[in-house]
Amino acid sequence: MARVAIVTGSSRGIGRAIALRIAHDGYDVCINDISANRENCEKTAKEIQDLGRKACVAIADVSVLKEVEEMIQTAVKELGPLNTMIANAGIAQVKPLLELTEEDFHRMFSINVYGVQNCFQASAKQLIAQGNCTAKNPGKMISAASIVAFKPFALLSHYSSSKWAVRGLTQAYAMEMAPHHITCNAYAPGIVGTAMWDLIDERLGAQTGAKVGDTIKKYTNELIAQKRTSVPEDVAKLVSFLAGPDSDHVTGQTQVVDGGIIFT
């Protein structure tokens, strides 16, 4: 029987690549994003259906628990019992620490940290209530961390701290969910060419005077051992492992996939 996964923030970027990859692996997938990205959600769902798998769309803001609970109910109703939650949605912001407002800090944590907590707590409750997780067929909860969960980038400080929190929360979930046969892991990408890095490149450039496109090139050449910017599919390959049976004995880990920036 097909396994069922929800991928948050999967209308584009890394989430979209993960959704397509795990559909290719045999998952039926619920695509989620905020309402502004509904059209791209529908497109991703259609691409999955074209692969011969089931897909549905559930619009929800991951920072709101009630919307996350409704998203899970939509996925279960449309696709069947849940097996895997991939809490991918996240935002970034480039700003010096001394210029951050309370609102900036709050927004960062409400999406990147409360978003993971909402998705993990609500999906764990769903998995436990369904009773379909066993030692031989564990449930999977996977979160989006980052290399900045190991060493912050200057000017991305509240983003970096939010990703440290995701790494810690994922470790804690791994401990408390093990008796329920649910594994909990995170992926930690480096510099991936998505809309998020377009924004980071532009805003870091505005701080340093670099032209648009030059900062990502400079970071790629100076920081990445393999000397190429990551693509979403690089991350999706790792998440395919974390969502699949080959990682059944792996839990509590934050696995880096960055072409060689951070060595853990």
Ligand X SMILES: NC(=O)c1ccc[n+]([C@@H]2O[C@H](COP(=O)([O-])OP(=O)(O)OC[C@H]3O[C@@H](n4cnc5c(N)ncnc54)[C@H](O)[C@@H]3O)[C@@H](O)[C@H]2O)c1
Of 11 and 240, CB closest to ligand X = 11
Of 132 and 197, CB closest to ligand X = 197
Q: Decide if residue 175 touches ligand X (CB under 6 A).
A: no
Nearest distance from residue 134's CB to ligand X, in Å? 30
Q: Decide if residue 139 touches ligand X (CB under 6 A).
A: no
Q: Decide if residue 34 touches ligand X (CB under 6 A).
A: yes
Nearest distance from residue 175's CB to ligand X, in Å? 23
Contact in structure between 120 and 173 (CB atoms under 8 Å): yes
* Rounded distance between C-alpha atoms, residue 256 and residue 84, angstroms: 20
Q: Which helix (H) or strand (E) holds 251?
A: none
Region of 227 please: left (phi>0), alpha (psi -120 to 50) or beta.
Answer: left
State which of positions 179-218 bind ligand X (CB under 6 A). Answer: 189, 191-192, 194-197
Q: Decide if residue 8 touches ligand X (CB under 6 A).
A: yes
DSSP output for 75-114? HHHHH-S--EEEE---------GGG--HHHHHHHHHHHTH
Task: Reply yes or no on whether 114 is catalytic.
Answer: no
* Rounded distance between C-alpha atoms, residue 57 and residue 74, angstroms: 8
Burial class (CB in 10 A: 0-12, 13-18, 19+), 102: exposed
Closest C-alpha among 107, 67, 102 to residue 91: 107
Q: Is the dihedral of CA 141, 89, 26, 78 positive or negative?
A: positive
Instruction: Among 33, 79, 177, 243, indicate the residue that binds ligand X (CB under 6 A).
Output: 33
Instruction: Among 111, 165, 186, 236, indicate the residue that binds ligand X (CB under 6 A).
Output: 111
Nearest distance from residue 240's CB to ligand X, in Å? 15
Instruction: Among 63, 126, 161, 183, indicate the residue that binds ligand X (CB under 6 A).
Output: 63
Q: Decide if residue 161 touches ligand X (CB under 6 A).
A: no
Of these residues, 159, 173, 187, 219, which one is catalytic? Answer: 159
Instruction: Among 123, 126, 146, 215, indicate the residue that binds ligand X (CB under 6 A).
Output: 146
* Rounded distance between C-alpha atoms, residue 29 and residue 22, angstroms: 8
Between the alpha carbon of residue 154 and those of residues 148, 183, 263, the distances in Å are 10, 32, 19
Instruction: Among 5, 6, 7, 14, indicate the residue that binds ligand X (CB under 6 A).
Output: 14
* Rounded distance between C-alpha atoms, residue 125 and residue 90, angstroms: 22
Q: Decide if residue 12 touches ligand X (CB under 6 A).
A: yes
Instruction: Among 56, 144, 182, 204, indicate the residue that binds ligand X (CB under 6 A).
Output: 144
Catalytic site residues? 159
Interacting residues with ligand X (CB under 6 A): 8-9, 11-15, 33-34, 37, 61-63, 88-92, 111, 115, 144, 146, 189, 191-192, 194-197
